[in-house]
Structure 1
Amino acid sequence: MLEWPSHESQTRVFWRSCTRAPPHRRRCLSDSSGDPAVPPRHDPLAALRQVSFLLYTSSRGLSVVGLTSLNAVIAWQVYEISGSALNLGLLGLAQFIPALSVSLIGGATADTYNRRNIILIAQCVPLTCASILCVATLGDWVRLELIYGLVLFIGMANAFEAPARAALLPAIVRPETFANAVTVSSTIQSFCAVSGPALAGGIIALAGVGAGFLAYICFALSSMLVLSFLKVRAANSGGGKVSLAMVREGIRFVRSQQVILGAMSLDMFAVVFGGATALLPVYASDILEVGPAGYGILQGSFYGGAFLTSLFLVFRPAIDRTGRALLIAVALFSIATIAFGLSRDFYLSLAIYVVIGALDRVSVVMRQTTIQLATPDELRGRVSAVNQSFIGASNQIGAMESGFVAALTSATFAVVSGGAAALAVTGLIRTRLPLLYNYRVSTAVGSMRQPVTSIAAVPPQEQPASSSP
């Protein structure tokens, strides 16, 4: 197996190049003018110049293509079998239960053991479940009960994989390129996610649901192969084993940091009320009447808008007022959701869903950058797990809420009322959490270089990071 330079050796080489070069050639921390007072020139490809990041993000991209296609195939199959929006909501319930119950344990595991190995082991679970569903579909003995049971296991595996992946990224890139790595990773993820749902819709239309499961199996195996070449060290938890005390420490840290808690809460409630993804099969089949191909295009348009926005964020300097940007993006996301719910024209709906995907990506990048920069490495797995619990709760409860409300009223009422509720929640958080609105990334960048061994070393946030508008 190939041996790649470790993160520590890369960092040592970088700083030697900075300190040993003649003064007129020291450009590591300044722009090409050589003046240290001038901010460094923005390099949109800084993260991609590191081999470890290339392996990480290539594996992640293959995984995202596979998982987004798998989710689309499963949702279509459930609606095809049952014809019920309520059963689509139950899919969210099947994924939310394990995310809520074991995600915090997954975070503590990521802070204790080798994060790459955790990801590889976790990926074996959806691979096995997709294989079973493929055989059951081709053999014509698939049932809703089987789908829900396997989806539950997929959700449980994701509760371990997600915090490990999130906590792994800061450990494989140089600290000064981390903010760029978050945006670049998000961009590549969005690009890969564009093809997943569209690919699923095309495969279903041409070869059936069983072929969609076969496609996921190929992507999952490729992702695991690429990730196996990444060399990382085990997390340094200091305890050697997962414990309940570790879980409690992570929760206490999140509760003590109002900006982190506010960012997580805003995203959770906005998606719970404002998400329309769970009802896309209903819109594609019954309202817009565009069939499986149109369903795949609608799914892909969301990720297309997300990708274009991520690309824009990569090539522009980092946003400092991430809290304000997050609030504005979520408010516009809510308004666009209302417009999508009211639309009856496929092309208008497609354009609106592109905008929804773009605004969602702004929210994701702002939230991820804020949370990761504000968290010491010793706690990243557990904080990522708490964040994953919020994300899982928003996505899955949102799917349940949409399905239940649509079953009681209509799909249109579910989407429109949800967007209005998300807009109201955004206004409430803006009013009640001024710390989030006033947050600046520049006040917290230094925390990445300050290792913390106890939550007591990080003071709770009691005053706004900045009172200026």
Structure 2
Amino acid sequence: MSITRTLIDVRPLRTSPVFRRLLIGRTVSVLGSFMTMVTVMYQVWEMTHSTVWTGAVGLAQALPMIVFGLFAGSWADRGDRRRIFLYATVGQAAVSLLLAVQGFTGHVPVAGVLALVAAQSCCSAVAGPAAGVFVPRLLPKEQVAAGLALQQVTGQAMMLVGPALGGILLGRAGIGTCYLVDALSFGLSFYGAFGLPALPPAGEPSRAGLHGVLNGLRFLAGHRAIRGALVTDLAATVLSMPTSLFPLVNAERFGGGPRTLGLFLSVLAVGGIAASALSGTITRLGRPGPVMLCGAGLWGGALAAFGLVRDPWAGLVLLALAGAGDAVSVISRSTIVQTHTPDALLGRVTAAEQIVGQAGPHLGNLRGGVVAGWTSGTTALVSGGLLCLFAVLWVGARTPELRGGSVPGPSAGTMPLEPADVPVPDGP
């Protein structure tokens, strides 16, 4: 096999200047967002010295996604997705500027900081569903998986670099400057999307309010492949998310040193970057269903094994494998969602995917902490990994559309939709 077919497929960068600009803008914006994540945690801790308040940061980020996400997806399926994304990007930049102002002045109480975090999360809840149509509308269907892999590898790289860069900037320039850099990063994201053509839904627009949301949920419940993809992601995050357990396991088994803990937190991203960089074979394969199931199974199996090892180096290898499995699973899941959802429903389905991706890890960390409190860190890790494996096997056994190869489904934008009668491609 040629080495060029193993490396990440860069055809979208060569063939689509618009996608290239979007990717650059998205990458810089994600970098700024991870810097802000570290800055918010640092500021809230310095203001309160309370783990309850630092935990509330995650709640302020997740709740708007859960509460408003599907309604934002319905809005994206009624209007010009480009314009909606630009409005949301301006909103995100404005909130970051307000965070910068309070960071320089220091006169806002902690509840005010969390309110600003929640406001920015509301803007993200709107931007995500609108941006969810960009890749399948800009790229040929055979390049969609490659485009998603490019987004994945750049996002993972920024997850690795952003917190470290944020920490350095915090130490040298202060809280306000970090927020200001994030606000400026949205300028590139705005520029990347500004040159897009109008992107109204291809098909019958969504109905307003709850009716549109329910139509989207009806489609999700009836399309077995997409439903199975989202259930698989929920199983991987809710049942086996490990990060809340790392401090306990590090203290129990590896001496509690901060260096080891830092490596545990970083090596998941390293594994994800490596897998994404070598994703050319799987994105060209055209079989996202089996690849997703294998990736999620690798995630669960590697974490279960990590719960048993005593050697820190073996643990790092297993966490890198888990990160690789997660990256492969995410790329394949997004490919299933974006290539087999009608364009007129893609905003709502992308919103559901975004909610799963936001809420799942928070619930998973909560589950891990509760189980570890009742038993031990080892039990929480091993049981979570095994439960994830069983769930993946169950989804695969119940969903032949996933395990059979390429997932059948309608081409985006080709299926006319009646507002009160959403098609159910696969049956219940």
Say whether the fold is shared (TM-score over 0.5).
yes
Query: Residue 434 of structure 1 corresponds to which residue in structure 2?
Result: 399
Deviation at 1:288, TM superposition (A): 4.3
Q: Equivalent residues in 2 for 1:61-460 (5 A)?
A: 61-79=27-45, 85-141=51-107, 143-236=109-202, 238-239=204-205, 242-277=208-243, 288-290=256-258, 295=262, 299-314=265-280, 318-338=284-304, 350-402=316-368, 417-431=383-397, 433-435=398-400, 437-441=402-406, 443-444=408-409, 447-448=411-412, 450-454=414-418, 458-460=423-425
**Contact 1:274-1:419 within 8 A present in 2 as well:** yes
CA RMSD of aligned residues (A): 3.6
Are the structure 2 counterparts of residues 46 and 139 from structure 1 closer, same or farther at C-alpha, using a change threshold of 3 Å? Answer: same
Stretches of structure 1 that go unaligned for 5 or more consecutive residues are 1-41, 464-469
**Contact 1:322-1:439 within 8 A present in 2 as well:** no
Query: Residue 461 of structure 1 corresponds to which residue in structure 2?
Result: 426
Deviation at 1:350, TM superposition (A): 5.0
Are the structure 2 counterparts of residues 457 and 407 from structure 1 closer, same or farther at C-alpha, using a change threshold of 3 Å? Answer: closer
Q: Which moved more, 1:102-111 or 1:148-157?
A: 148-157
**Contact 1:111-1:236 within 8 A present in 2 as well:** no
Deviation at 1:436, TM superposition (A): 5.1
CA distance in 1, matches of 2:385, 2:328: 18
Deviation at 1:351, TM superposition (A): 4.5
CA distance in 2, matches of 1:410, 1:210: 40
CA distance in 2, matches of 1:94, 1:201: 22
Are the structure 2 counterparts of residues 280 and 106 from structure 1 closer, same or farther at C-alpha, using a change threshold of 3 Å? Answer: farther
| CA offsets 1:110-147 (integer angstroms, 9 cap, x no match) | 11222122222222344333333334344444644233
CA distance in 1, matches of 2:156, 2:202: 31
Task: Find the residue that maps to 1:155 and give its secondary structure.
Answer: helix
- Name the aligned partner's letter for residue 434 of structure 1: T
- Name the aligned partner's letter for residue 231 of structure 1: P
CA distance in 2, matches of 1:340, 1:157: 37
Are the structure 2 counterparts of residues 342 and 201 from structure 1 closer, same or farther at C-alpha, using a change threshold of 3 Å? Answer: farther
Deviation at 1:264, TM superposition (A): 0.2
Are the structure 2 counterparts of residues 115 and 462 from structure 1 closer, same or farther at C-alpha, using a change threshold of 3 Å? Answer: closer
**Percent of matched pairs sharing the same residue:** 26
Query: Residue 7 of structure 1 corresponds to which residue in structure 2?
Result: none
TM-score for the superposition, normalised by structure 1: 0.76
Query: Residue 29 of structure 1 corresponds to which residue in structure 2?
Result: none
Deviation at 1:242, TM superposition (A): 3.1
CA distance in 2, matches of 1:99, 1:427: 29
Task: Find the residue that maps to 2:133 and give its secondary structure.
Answer: helix
CA distance in 2, matches of 1:118, 1:249: 21
Decide which structure has the larger Cα Rg and report it.
Answer: 1
Stretches of structure 2 that go unaligned for 5 or more consecutive residues are 1-6
Are the structure 2 counterparts of residues 396 and 152 from structure 1 closer, same or farther at C-alpha, using a change threshold of 3 Å? Answer: farther
Deviation at 1:164, TM superposition (A): 0.9
Deviation at 1:152, TM superposition (A): 1.9
Deviation at 1:317, TM superposition (A): 5.5
**Contact 1:118-1:164 within 8 A present in 2 as well:** yes
Deviation at 1:163, TM superposition (A): 0.9
